[in-house]
Amino acid sequence: MIRSLLRYTHHLTGAIIISFLIGLVAELTKVVVLVLAAMMLFDPQNASHLLIPGIIAAVIVGLGSFGEQYAGHFVAFHVLAELRGAVYRKLVQLAPAKLDSQGSGKLLKLIGSDIEAMEIFYAHTIVPVAIGLIYGVLMVAVYSSLNGPAAAVVLVSYAAVGLLIPYYRHEQMTAKAQAADRQKAVNQQYLLESVRGMAVLRQLEVADARMKTGNEGFDHEATAFQQSQFGQLLKNMSATLVMLVAWLFIVWLNGWTQPQPLQQALLAVFPLTFGPLLALTNLPASLLNGFAAARNLLNLLQEAPATSAAIDATQTLNQIAIIQVDHVTFKYPSRDETVLRQVSLSLHAGEIVGFVGASGSGKSTLAKLIMGWYPLTQGRILIDGIDLTKIDPASLRAQVNYLPQTPVFFSESVRDNLTLHDATITDAQIWTVLDQVKLTSRLRQAEKGLDENVVSGQLQFSSGEQQRLELARALLHPSSVLVLDEPTSNLDTENERLILDTIKAYYHGIVIMISHRAESAAYADRLYRFADHRVSAASTEPKQQA
């Protein structure tokens, strides 16, 4: 895993080397400052001669520490920005199937706290480990001026504090850190779902009970964190004990009084020379969180898309005239239950086809298969005679508009929400489409018109207006297929009729209308009924009149 993480630093090698050199100089100069201060205490007569070198060394320490931290964070923030870009690009590649699951809390944790936790590795691991190793070797050489046994004690104590204790504690803390990480992901998912469903929870008077359950989960997370912190405390105590025992042993070997002030100073300041090694001792606790986060991120980046297209799919589409579903059987990759079995049907341009049936009968699933979200278990889907597996996913997506049950808006202007930053769409086109969905007067009355800001999650539009805005967005981006996934289920009859009349009048491609409402189904030219994992043609009711 470390090798995989280091791949992202190749272009920042120069900054890493600079950070290492500055940091090493700063740490060695700290020892110089300590030794000069000790020499001034043991040899007051020459203290005035040592004052200026001490001040210069202290300034170098300050500048060096700042330079090492600046360069380290320069590397970390550039790498983290690159990782966020890599995650976003991967999510685009994995979507929409990846986002179709219920693990949005884990994705939020990965994009936010997981990537931030990896700062520990890039800013506080690579360079500090290198500094600790070289610093330790140089300091052993310095203490060899006392005698060989003293140098051996220094080497063993440095190795114990910088390597053995961190490794031992790492082995003990790994399971606890992973448990805490899993509990944190569960808690975030639970909290996200609770916030989204707060209106329903309050309506059913179960908000307090759910909050109590959530608090219990956060208590478990806090317990796991406290156990990890207790392990950190034991590790620090072990390091302090090693430092004290090693110092006393060196004093026992050499005696306290030394013939030279420099040797006396080296002996006195020995417990204070463990700084870079103590930094390594403190790494495992935070580094475990960073590695757990890195494992989540690398797993995502290595995940293969659950798409219907083959690797070499290059066929493109201009307009879709016919879609044929041929003996399709399907079950989701993460489940054993078969959702659809031996389904065959056809869809033609210019007609509205209704998918009706009970919740969970596979209506939305078949629409997602037609859109290429998942690979088929058996059978095939042909689009204008071309097997779906051979069609470039980008070309297929360009021909499909999908309206989910809950409209999706972004925190930006109405114009940007409708055009999705497509500069070729003019305001005149926008107003024409808004007139088609009967929203012209609503937006004309808005203080800023098309520049009116939309705040995601705090929309100032009614449910019907939101659905009509999303339909306007679909009409502004021409396609051959329009998938309506229960878009009118939460609307009143008037708004439902307005939306369906608009689609019937202005959309001339294939319309797949997923619904359980008789009013919506009555607009369909043909109906397919879903039940018991199978699909059959159903008769249509007389059409609604506008």
Task: Report, as an integer, the average pLDDT of 203-222.
Answer: 83
Helices (H) and strands (E) in the chain, counts: 22, 12
Residue 383 pLDDT > 90, yes or no?
yes
Class of domain 322-538: alpha beta
Lowest mean pLDDT among 47-51, 285-289, 337-341: 285-289
Task: Report, as an integer, the average pLDDT of 181-195.
Answer: 78
Alpha carbon distance 497, 465 (integer Å): 13
Alpha carbon distance 92, 96 (integer Å): 8
Residue in the block written with tokens 């620090």:
236
Strands 386-387 and 412-413: unpaired
Residue in the block written with tokens 């960073």:
290
- For 240-300, the DSSP string reads HHHHHHHHHHHHHHH-S--SSHHHHHHHHHGGGG-HHHHHHHTHHHHHHHHHHHHHHHHHH
Q: 55-85, pLDDT tens digit by residue?
A: 999 999 999 989 888 888 888 888 888 888 8
Lowest mean pLDDT among 329-333, 446-450, 509-513, 519-523: 519-523
pLDDT value at residue 472: 93
Write down the mean pLDDT value for the chain: 84
Confidence of residue 545 (pLDDT cuts 50, 70, 90): very low
Alpha carbon distance 197, 184 (integer Å): 20
Confidence of residue 429 (pLDDT cuts 50, 70, 90): very high
Confidence of residue 499 (pLDDT cuts 50, 70, 90): confident
CATH 3.40.50.300 positions along the chain are: 322-538
Confidence of residue 171 (pLDDT cuts 50, 70, 90): low
Question: Bigger pLDDT: 515 or 139?
Answer: 139
pLDDT value at residue 535: 92
Burial 449-478 (b: 16+ CB within 10 A, else e): ebebebeeeeeebeebbbbbbbbbbbbbee
Lowest mean pLDDT among 173-187, 272-286, 525-539: 173-187
Task: Report, as an integer, the average pLDDT of 383-400.
Answer: 92
Strands, sheet with 526-531, edge to edge from the N-terminal-most edge strand: 400-403, 481-485, 510-514, 352-357, 526-531, 534-538
pLDDT value at residue 101: 66
Residue 338, judged by CB atoms within 10 A of its CB (0-12, 13-18, 19+), counts as middle
Name 264's Cβ contacts closer than 8 Å, sequence gap at least 6. Answer: 38, 39, 42, 257, 258
Query: With contact defined as beta carbons under 8 Å apart, do 504 and 523 qualify?
Result: yes
pLDDT value at residue 546: 36
CA nearest 283: which of 389, 93, 124? Answer: 124
Question: Bigger pLDDT: 230 or 92?
Answer: 92
pLDDT value at residue 102: 54
Residue 219 pLDDT > 80, yes or no?
yes
Question: Bigger pLDDT: 48 or 286?
Answer: 48
Alpha carbon distance 277, 246 (integer Å): 14
pLDDT value at residue 542: 45
pLDDT value at residue 34: 92
Give the 3-state secondary structure of residue 430. helix
Confidence of residue 153 (pLDDT cuts 50, 70, 90): very high
CATH 1.20.1560.10 positions along the chain are: 1-302
Residue 541 pLDDT > 60, yes or no?
no
Give the 3-state secondary structure of residue 480. coil
Peptide bond into 284 cis (omega under 30): no
In whole angstroms, how far apart are CA 254 and each of 144, 248, 269, 274? 12, 10, 15, 20
For 324, phi then psi, to 5°, come to -120, 125
CATH architecture group of domain 1-302: Up-down Bundle (1.20)
Residue 43 pLDDT > 90, yes or no?
no
Strands 352-357 and 526-531: parallel
Query: With contact defined as beta carbons under 8 Å apart, do 154 and 270 qualify?
Result: yes
Total-model pTM? 0.66
Q: How far is CA 423 from the centre of its chain?
A: 29
Lowest mean pLDDT among 35-39, 63-67, 399-403, 516-520: 516-520
Task: Report, as an integer, the average pLDDT of 86-97.
Answer: 82
Query: With contact defined as beta carbons under 8 Å apart, do 531 and 358 qualify?
Result: yes
Alpha carbon distance 360, 518 (integer Å): 18
Name 410's Cβ contacts closer than 8 Å, sequence gap at least 6. Answer: 416, 417, 454, 456
Lowest mean pLDDT among 16-30, 355-369, 488-502: 488-502
pLDDT value at residue 354: 92
Residue in the block written with tokens 């809950």:
406
Alpha carbon distance 123, 118 (integer Å): 9
Query: In percent, how much of the chain has pLDDT > 70?
Result: 92
